[in-house]
Amino acid sequence: MKILYTAEALATGAGRNGHARTSDGKLDVDLAMPTEMGGNGEGTNPEQLFAAGYAACFHSALQMIARQEKADISDSAVGARVGIGPTDGGGFGLAVTLEVTLPKLSAEQARELTEKAHQVCPYSNATRGNIEVTLEISED
């Protein structure tokens, strides 16, 4: 693979209750465990950051496929829900649900475009076979 861009980030402090910053300073956030996991919830967390990144990346993949197929995906949106919980083998794992809204397309067209985007999205390729990713087509 030819690398086109590399993002760099550094986490400091107490891990999930610490701080994270990108090398260019465009992202500079306090981290806190969510209240559901016993934290104070006063900062963002890795799952929220992953959800935002996956949603944006998947939306770009949808737009690329739509351009190739000349499909109108104006007013489209992608939401991501990232869950974390204990695994059967110990440790923790993630599960993702991507909610895709393509109001100008039929349900069949939306499903087809979403499946194609799932094959080219870098986040989908990174997670495939590692975590459960569910694709939902919104009727909105």
What CATH number is given to the structural domain containing 12? Answer: 2.20.25.10
Per-residue model confidence (pLDDT) at position 19: 98
Contact status, residue 98 vs residue 133, Cβ threshold 8 Å: yes
> Are 62 and 102 in a shared domain?
yes
Structural domain for 93, as ranges: 46-138
List, in sequence order, every residue forming a beta bridge with 21; answer none if it has no partner.
10, 28
How does pLDDT run across 65-101, given as a tens digit for each residue? 999 999 999 999 999 999 999 999 999 999 999 999 9
Residues 37 and 90 in one domain: no
Q: 67 near 76, Cβ under 8 Å?
A: no
Query: Looking at the structure, do residues 59 and 101 belong to the same domain, yes or no?
Result: yes
Handedness of CA 124, 61, 116, 49 (dihedral sign): positive
What is the tally of structural domains in the chain? 2
Could you tell me if 20 and 71 lie in one domain? Answer: no
| Residue 139 pLDDT class (50, 70, 90 cuts) | confident
Q: How far is CA 98 from CA 35, 60, 66, 74, in A?
A: 23, 13, 17, 18
The dihedrals phi and psi of 17, each to the nearest 5 degrees, come to -115, 35
Answer whether 60's CB lies under 8 Å from 68's CB: no
Q: What is the mean pLDDT of the chain?
A: 97
